[in-house]
């Protein structure tokens, strides 16, 4: 059994939300962590209908317990009205809950409460290198993505087709998120081409046949349903003109490959490099979430084109992702430009495919992926 890196609290100690993209293993993690919990699965049609019509049933059912059980509510976003009952039970009967879901969009838009800060938030990502150990394979992960069932599958294409279809059906159509479902489906394919890039709303809008404002709303939906996230630009104390717009990353590179019809990615190809950058951001983001580091992640780019992929904590660490087995001076231009503009840069490193770590004369660490993963998950990077 693969042990996940996200550590959940002891049963009954606190009420918390567990969010995460579809199929990242949230339910599996909760069942393993809380085998004795009272389980309410809103994916079951009969459970969904009961609580949708009468959310107060939850309070009445728990009244029958002399000692309140720890309660897991799976897919809580499907019945936002339950959260009022959860809050009352939390405050008045000291019942503690694990509230699991893949999107808080319906909850917020329906004006249901998120327990007013009473619930801790956890987020589960797809597989990371530290969870797979010796079974981790970089090229497999860049092709299959991070979702557990798809990473472990021998043939991922049919699973990706089902994943995207289920996303459109369950997250978008069933919740009435958009009126133009075919238009949103077409947007998904075009948005995949923007992974690891600045987003040109006008170009995507023109190709989709919708307005730029609609495209902006569509990207907001991707964020709310945890299928993507923004990486802000680092803009503090610029000496030269810097780019201020955020970059967009899908939460799973396998979904990007499927939507963009990339085919099989091999080392040395340009698209392999883009997938490699997505993976680096995935590892950094997951570590930041699981370790409670609360680090600020950003990127830096000059208008002239020099760029550093990731900045951690106000220049404490600068990281470039280069999917090459031979780093040369051209690969170091971005980090050197950053260090020229900002003397406060702490560690500077290039994560790459070279076989052994080394250090340049000006102190830039050339770090193989295995070394990077080991250092990251040992807490040695931030």
- The domain limits of the chain are 16-123, 129-377
> Confidence class of residue 179 from pLDDT cuts 50, 70 and 90?
confident
- Average model confidence (pLDDT) across the chain: 93
For residue 328, what are the CA distances in angstroms to 273, 331, 332?
Answer: 16, 6, 7
Q: What is the mean pLDDT of residues 304-316?
A: 96
Please state which CATH number belongs to domain 16-123. 3.40.50.300
Each residue's pLDDT tens digit, 251-295: 999 999 999 999 999 999 999 999 999 999 999 999 999 999 999
Nearest to 133 by CA among 355, 373, 382: 373
How far is it, in rounded angstroms, from Cα 153 to Cα 155? 5
Q: pTM value?
A: 0.94
Nearest to 34 by CA among 13, 5, 55: 13
> Confidence class of residue 114 from pLDDT cuts 50, 70 and 90?
low
In this model, does residue 366 exceed pLDDT 50? yes
In this model, does residue 13 exceed pLDDT 80? yes
For residue 296, what are the CA distances in angstroms to 263, 284, 336, 360, 370?
Answer: 34, 11, 21, 26, 24
Q: What is the mean pLDDT of residues 184-193?
A: 95
Q: Which two tokens stand for residue 106?
A: 């319906």
């Amino acid at each position: 059994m693969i042990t996940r890196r996200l550590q959940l609290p002891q049963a009954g100690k606190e009420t918390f939300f567990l969010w995460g993209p579809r199929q990242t293993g949230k339910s599996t993690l909760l069942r393993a962590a809380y085998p004795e919990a009272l389980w309410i699965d809103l994916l079951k049609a009969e459970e969904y209908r009961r609580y949708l019509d009468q959310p107060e049933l939850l309070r009445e059912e728990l009244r029958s317990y002399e000692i309140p059980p720890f309660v897991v509510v799976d897919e809580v976003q499907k019945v936002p009205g339950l959260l009022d009952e959860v809050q009352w039970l939390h405050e008045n009967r000291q019942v503690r809950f694990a509230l699991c879901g893949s999107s808080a969009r319906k909850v917020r838009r329906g004006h249901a409460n998120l327990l007013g800060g009473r619930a801790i938030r956890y987020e589960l990502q797809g597989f990371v290198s530290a969870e797979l150990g010796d079974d981790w394979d970089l090229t497999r992960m860049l092709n299959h993505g991070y979702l557990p069932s798809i990473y472990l599958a021998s043939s991922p294409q049919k699973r990706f087709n089902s994943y995207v279809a289920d996303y459109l059906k369950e997250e978008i159509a069933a919740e009435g998120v958009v009126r133009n479902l075919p238009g949103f489906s077409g947007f998904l394919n075009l948005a995949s081409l923007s992974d690891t890039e600045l987003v040109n709303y006008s170009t995507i809008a023109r190709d989709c046949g919708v307005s730029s404002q609609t495209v902006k709303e569509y990207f907001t939906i991707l964020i709310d349903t945890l299928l993507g996230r923004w990486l802000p630009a680092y803009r503090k104390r610029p000496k030269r003109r810097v780019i201020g717009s955020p970059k967009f990353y899908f939460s799973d590179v396998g979904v990007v490959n499927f939507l963009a019809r990339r085919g099989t990615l091999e080392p040395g190809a340009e698209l392999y490099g883009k997938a490699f950058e997505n993976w680096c951001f995935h590892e950094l983001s997951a570590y930041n979430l699981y370790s409670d580091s609360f680090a600020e992640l950003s990127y830096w780019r000059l208008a002239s084109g020099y760029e550093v992929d990731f900045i951690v904590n106000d220049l404490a660490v600068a990281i470039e992702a280069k999917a090459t087995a031979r780093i040369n001076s051209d690969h170091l231009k971005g980090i050197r430009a950053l260090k020229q503009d900002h003397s406060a840069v702490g560690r500077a490193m290039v994560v790459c495919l070279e076989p052994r770590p080394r250090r340049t004369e000006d102190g830039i660490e050339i770090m193989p992926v295995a070394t990077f993963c080991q250092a990251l998950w040992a807490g040695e990077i931030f």
